[in-house]
Protein backbone atom coordinates (compact mmCIF):
# COMPACT_ATOMS: atom_id res chain seq x y z
CA UNK A 1 0.00 0.00 0.00
CA UNK A 2 1.29 3.44 -0.91
CA UNK A 3 2.37 5.53 2.15
CA UNK A 4 -0.02 8.36 1.26
CA UNK A 5 -2.94 5.94 1.03
CA UNK A 6 -1.92 4.35 4.31
CA UNK A 7 -1.82 7.74 6.09
CA UNK A 8 -5.16 8.68 4.53
CA UNK A 9 -6.71 5.41 5.66
CA UNK A 10 -5.41 5.81 9.22
CA UNK A 11 -6.60 9.44 9.34
CA UNK A 12 -10.06 8.36 8.19
CA UNK A 13 -10.25 5.68 10.87
CA UNK A 14 -9.08 8.10 13.59
CA UNK A 15 -11.59 10.75 12.46
CA UNK A 16 -14.39 8.19 12.42
CA UNK A 17 -13.56 6.94 15.90
CA UNK A 18 -13.13 10.40 17.41
CA UNK A 19 -16.34 11.87 15.92
CA UNK A 20 -18.61 10.39 18.63
CA UNK A 21 -16.60 12.23 21.27
CA UNK A 22 -18.37 15.42 20.21
CA UNK A 23 -21.56 13.91 21.62
CA UNK A 24 -20.06 14.00 25.11
CA UNK A 25 -20.16 17.79 25.05
CA UNK A 26 -23.48 17.84 26.85
CA UNK A 27 -24.65 20.36 29.44
CA UNK A 28 -24.25 18.67 32.82
CA UNK A 29 -25.21 21.56 35.07
CA UNK A 30 -28.13 21.67 37.46
CA UNK A 31 -31.26 20.89 35.49
CA UNK A 32 -33.56 21.01 38.50
CA UNK A 33 -34.54 17.36 38.23
CA UNK A 34 -33.51 16.58 41.82
CA UNK A 35 -35.55 19.49 43.18
CA UNK A 36 -38.56 18.34 41.20
CA UNK A 37 -38.11 14.72 42.35
CA UNK A 38 -37.81 15.69 46.01
CA UNK A 39 -40.93 17.88 45.77
CA UNK A 40 -42.77 14.91 44.27
CA UNK A 41 -41.66 12.77 47.22
CA UNK A 42 -39.28 10.55 45.29
CA UNK A 43 -35.97 9.29 46.60
CA UNK A 44 -33.17 11.34 45.04
CA UNK A 45 -30.18 9.37 46.39
CA UNK A 46 -28.88 7.16 43.60
CA UNK A 47 -27.66 3.64 44.25
CA UNK A 48 -24.10 4.28 43.12
CA UNK A 49 -22.48 0.82 42.87
CA UNK A 50 -24.86 -0.80 40.33
CA UNK A 51 -24.97 2.46 38.38
CA UNK A 52 -21.17 2.65 38.13
CA UNK A 53 -20.77 -1.04 37.26
CA UNK A 54 -23.51 -0.83 34.64
CA UNK A 55 -21.97 2.28 33.11
CA UNK A 56 -18.52 0.66 32.94
CA UNK A 57 -19.86 -2.53 31.35
CA UNK A 58 -22.03 -0.69 28.81
CA UNK A 59 -19.11 1.59 27.88
CA UNK A 60 -16.76 -1.37 27.45
CA UNK A 61 -19.30 -3.19 25.29
CA UNK A 62 -19.77 -0.05 23.21
CA UNK A 63 -16.02 0.21 22.62
CA UNK A 64 -15.89 -3.45 21.63
CA UNK A 65 -18.75 -2.82 19.20
CA UNK A 66 -16.77 0.03 17.64
CA UNK A 67 -13.75 -2.27 17.30
CA UNK A 68 -15.91 -4.81 15.47
CA UNK A 69 -17.19 -2.08 13.17
CA UNK A 70 -13.63 -1.01 12.35
CA UNK A 71 -12.67 -4.63 11.69
CA UNK A 72 -15.69 -5.02 9.40
CA UNK A 73 -14.68 -1.92 7.42
CA UNK A 74 -11.10 -3.21 7.25
CA UNK A 75 -12.30 -6.59 5.97
CA UNK A 76 -14.44 -4.93 3.32
CA UNK A 77 -11.53 -2.75 2.28
CA UNK A 78 -9.26 -5.80 2.11
CA UNK A 79 -11.80 -7.62 -0.05
CA UNK A 80 -12.12 -4.63 -2.39
CA UNK A 81 -8.39 -4.34 -2.98
CA UNK A 82 -7.83 -8.11 -3.25
CA UNK A 83 -8.09 -7.92 -7.07
CA UNK A 84 -9.06 -11.58 -7.35
CA UNK A 85 -6.33 -12.92 -5.05
CA UNK A 86 -8.10 -15.88 -3.44
CA UNK A 87 -5.95 -15.83 -0.28
CA UNK A 88 -6.83 -12.20 0.44
CA UNK A 89 -10.52 -12.79 -0.35
CA UNK A 90 -10.63 -15.78 2.01
CA UNK A 91 -8.91 -13.76 4.73
CA UNK A 92 -11.45 -10.96 4.27
CA UNK A 93 -14.37 -13.43 4.34
CA UNK A 94 -13.05 -15.03 7.52
CA UNK A 95 -12.68 -11.61 9.13
CA UNK A 96 -16.24 -10.67 8.19
CA UNK A 97 -17.64 -13.95 9.55
CA UNK A 98 -15.68 -13.52 12.78
CA UNK A 99 -16.92 -9.92 13.08
CA UNK A 100 -20.53 -11.02 12.68
CA UNK A 101 -20.09 -13.70 15.35
CA UNK A 102 -18.43 -11.15 17.63
CA UNK A 103 -21.18 -8.58 17.11
CA UNK A 104 -23.82 -11.19 17.99
CA UNK A 105 -21.92 -12.02 21.18
CA UNK A 106 -21.53 -8.33 22.10
CA UNK A 107 -25.20 -7.57 21.48
CA UNK A 108 -26.17 -10.58 23.60
CA UNK A 109 -23.83 -9.48 26.39
CA UNK A 110 -25.23 -5.95 26.20
CA UNK A 111 -28.81 -7.25 26.43
CA UNK A 112 -28.00 -9.51 29.38
CA UNK A 113 -26.14 -6.71 31.17
CA UNK A 114 -28.95 -4.26 30.60
CA UNK A 115 -31.50 -6.76 31.91
CA UNK A 116 -29.46 -7.62 35.01
CA UNK A 117 -28.74 -3.99 35.89
CA UNK A 118 -32.43 -3.19 35.54
CA UNK A 119 -33.42 -6.26 37.57
CA UNK A 120 -31.04 -5.52 40.45
CA UNK A 121 -31.57 -1.76 40.42
CA UNK A 122 -35.31 -1.20 39.93
CA UNK A 123 -36.55 2.36 39.62
CA UNK A 124 -37.84 3.89 42.86
CA UNK A 125 -41.50 3.41 43.51
CA UNK A 126 -43.67 6.42 42.96
CA UNK A 127 -45.86 7.44 45.86
CA UNK A 128 -49.38 6.22 45.43
CA UNK A 129 -51.86 8.98 45.05
CA UNK A 130 -55.35 7.75 45.71
CA UNK A 131 -57.96 9.84 44.06
CA UNK A 132 -59.61 12.04 46.58
CA UNK A 133 -63.31 11.82 46.98
CA UNK A 134 -64.99 15.12 46.42
CA UNK A 135 -66.79 16.49 49.39
CA UNK A 136 -69.96 18.34 48.90
CA UNK A 137 -71.05 21.06 51.21
CA UNK A 138 -74.62 22.01 51.62
**By residue range, what is the domain housing residue 104?**
48-119
User: Does residue 17 sit within a domain?
Assistant: no
Q: pLDDT tens, 52-91?
A: 777 787 788 788 888 888 999 999 999 999 988 999 999 9
Q: How many domains does the chain have?
A: 1
**With contact defined as beta carbons under 8 Å apart, do 78 and 92 qualify?**
yes
User: Does residue 27 sit within a domain?
Assistant: no
pTM: 0.51
User: Does residue 2 sit within a domain?
Assistant: no
Q: pLDDT tens, 119-134?
A: 876 665 555 555 555 5
Amino acid sequence: MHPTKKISFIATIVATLSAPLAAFAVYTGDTGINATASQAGLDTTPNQLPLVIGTIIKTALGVVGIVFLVLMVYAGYTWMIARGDEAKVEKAKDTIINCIIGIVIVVGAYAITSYLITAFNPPPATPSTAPSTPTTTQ
